[in-house]
Amino acid sequence: MQITEILDKLKKVKGSPSKGWEACCPAHEDKSPSMSIAEKHYRILVHCHAGCTTADICMSLGIDMGDLFNERG
């Protein structure tokens, strides 16, 4: 899965490929961005600063955790 596909599913996304993004976490009721998203070494990294797990985030986005791993170029 491409990172743009994940970013399109999120609300209040801001940031850039070089510095990463932040957005509202889909796994809990979030009014201001509390989730960090980055792409490093062919992996999409998501982290909710409110404590939601990666599994919870993936389930809320309707994706599998394996979708966070891209095949090399």
Q: Kindly state whether residue 49 falls inside one of the protein's structural domains.
A: yes
Residue 73 lies in a domain: no
Work out the widest C-alpha separation in the chain, in whole angstroms: 36
Closest CA to 38 of 72, 71, 70: 70
What pLDDT shows up at residue 72?
Answer: 57
Is 18 part of a structural domain of the chain? Answer: yes
Q: Which residues contact 27 (CB under 8 A, 6 or more apart)?
A: 48, 52, 53, 56, 57, 59, 60
Q: Does the pLDDT at position 12 exceed 60?
A: yes
User: Does the residue 9 lie in any domain?
Assistant: yes
In a domain, residue 48? The reply is: yes
- Domain holding 50, by residue range, is 3-68
In tens, the pLDDT along 23-59 reads 999 999 999 999 999 999 889 999 999 999 999 999 9
| Residue 23 in domain | yes
- Note if the pTM is more than 0.95: no
Q: Are 28 and 18 in contact (CB under 8 A)?
A: no
Residue 50's pLDDT is what? 97
Q: How many folded domains does the chain comprise?
A: 1
Q: Is residue 22 part of a domain?
A: yes
Which pLDDT value is given to residue 14?
97
